[in-house]
Chains A and B, each alone.
Chain A
Amino acid sequence: MSSQNDHHALIVNYLLGRLSETELESFERNYLADESLFEELQEVEDELIDDFASDALTIDQKLAFEKYFLRSSERREKLAFATAMTERAVAWQKGTLVSIETPARDLSSVELFDNSNSKQHLMFWQGSVPAWRQWVAVAAAVLLAVVIGVLWFRNRELQRQVITTDANYARLRQEVDAQSKATAETKAELSAEQQQTQMLESQVEQLQTSPPDKIHDTIVNIVLGIDYLVGATRGGEKKVKTLAVPANARLVRLTLNVAASSFESFNILLRRDGERVVWRRSGLKAKPAGRTLNLTIPAENLLPGDYQVLVLGAPPEGDAELIGRYFLKVERKRATK
């Protein structure tokens, strides 16, 4: 257990930039050679972000997190997600607690009188009773009346609270229903996105486990020239480039020629049938000589169909700007025997 904790602490310190140069070198050598360490690092990274979002890091860790860890834009996006998710979860927890703490509605079982000694009480009143005892009895009756009155008011108050809680509950239910209705339209679309994500994961697994064979055409290269780029503002003639992917291809390399622009960084979205994003890359830089962008995609992600390759210029600040798009038609060649 202790060695597991040490290992976990080592990864945390790596992510927070708190390893010595020797430790760094040793860690990274192992890391590059070991896929399981890569997966573990991703898990620890996510947990670190969650911990920061919920204020669970030590002061030293917080400082290192802000100063070192958050330099990456991808990590800042992950932190935005963790923060939103934590806020949502805390709100959900409070909502849950309210429903758990709803007062019990059945108050009828409260017993105010004990009648077991009623006969004795009758005999007591029928006999000769001294005056002081009568006064005590009157005082007791008055006290009893007061107690009954207080209990009655308390009961009414509780009932009012129950009614208010019911009304709040009904209102919350209505809000939830309305929200569910609003999301229903996008639900199908988002499910499709999830399926796509699962498909991508299985494709990656398949790539990792596929046995060697005697296949050629493993890598397909395709160049999309500037004449194929349809601009976002001034338009242009739509030309569709056909990409024939051999059945046995594993990687497709797209070389995109873009017009010279002030952007230093580009984002690429590959959309199938104009809707689904099947691949994305951000932070690509055009090579200075030819203003070309290179993109490598596992071939299994490219099913036959029509695609658009969206090229967005990413300014240092603010939203990315659509520069233009290429139109691509993907065909799959049959396997040759």
Chain B
Amino acid sequence: MAIDRSQQQDLAFHALLDWLNPNRDRAADDYVRLHRRLAKMFEARGCLTPEDCADETFNRIGSQLIEGKEIRTDNPTFYINGVARHVLLEQWSKPVQEQIEDLPAEKLPQDNHRELNEKQEKERWHSCLEKCLQTLPQESRQLLLEYYAEDKTQKIETRSRMAKQLGVAAGVLRNRIFKLRNSLRGCVATCLAR
């Protein structure tokens, strides 16, 4: 009995999970983590749709598995890395038009309409940022503002001073800023999406 494309994809996905780890729970965890890492890697290498590239990498491995290919490796990430490099090479060899579509706005021809949109967009950004900053506790808000107002050409000195003031190690401060920034960025993105 012939199976349709959707069923084939499901089979491939299950085969991939089995290959990642015989324990399904562990496999699912591995899949989520590796997909995230892979997408970030594709982004760093200039893939325009990193999530798609990561999907494609896993789809290919899944397809190879259901076709009967036996992939023996001590560390699946090495094999995934190899397949990912192939996917990347194919992305790069695609027509240039796709890249032009995703060029930064400032690199595209300018017109008055665009400038007006950019101005409105900037106002929306600031409005959402202000709203979101107000939701942060006073201390966190002050910490972020101090961090962003600092002279970043002397950041080592400035950050060690800030860390000293807070009574924490520089690494802890860096991690705290990272989490606060992420939280605030998420809030702004939600606000902008409304």
Contact = CB atoms under 8 A, between A and B. Distances in A.
A46 B102 contact: no
Interface in B146-190: 146-149, 151-153, 155, 174-175, 178, 181, 183-190
A308 interface: no
A41 interface: yes
B25 A212 contact: yes
Contact of A38 (B26, B37, B131, B178): B37
A316 B183 CA distance: 28
B115 interface: no
Contact of B5 (A47, A68, A216, A290): A290
Contact of B186 (A47, A80, A186, A197): A197
B94 interface: no
Name the interface size band of chain A. 35 or more
Name the interface size band of chain B. 35 or more
Nearest to A179: B130
A62 interface: no
B72 interface: no
Interface string A242-257: 0000000011010100
Contact of B52 (A15, A35, A284): A284
A282 B32 CA distance: 16
Interface in A39-96: 41-43, 46-47, 50-51, 54, 56, 68, 70-78, 80-82, 84-90, 92-93
B93 interface: no
A250 B29 contact: yes
A180 interface: yes
B125 interface: yes
B129 interface: yes
B32 A204 contact: yes
Interface string A205-223: 0011010110110110101
A17 interface: yes
Contacts of B151: 54, 56
B48 interface: yes
A111 interface: no
Contact of B28 (A51, A187, A193, A219): A219
A32 B38 contact: yes
Contacts of B36: 38
B80 interface: yes
Main secondary structure of the interface of A (DSSP, over half): helix
Given A85-B129, A251-B31, A17 B5 contact: no
A290 B125 CA distance: 38
B129 A32 contact: no
A210 to B, nearest CB: 6
B148 A54 contact: yes
Nearest to B108: A317
Interface of B: 5-6, 9-10, 13-14, 17, 23-29, 31-38, 40-41, 43-44, 46, 48-52, 55, 75, 77-78, 80-81, 84, 99, 101-102, 104, 108, 122, 125-126, 129-135, 144-149, 151-153, 155, 174-175, 178, 181, 183-191, 193
18 contacts: A17-B46, A28-B41, A35-B33, A41-B40, A47-B174, A71-B48, A75-B43, A78-B185, A81-B185, A82-B148, A84-B129, A88-B129, A186-B191, A190-B187, A193-B190, A208-B33, A250-B25, A253-B10
Interface of A: 14-15, 17, 28-29, 31-33, 35, 38, 41-43, 46-47, 50-51, 54, 56, 68, 70-78, 80-82, 84-90, 92-93, 179-180, 183, 186-187, 190-191, 193-194, 197, 204, 207-208, 210, 212-213, 215-216, 218-219, 221, 223, 250-251, 253, 255, 265, 269, 277, 281-285, 287, 289-290, 292, 294, 296, 298, 316-317
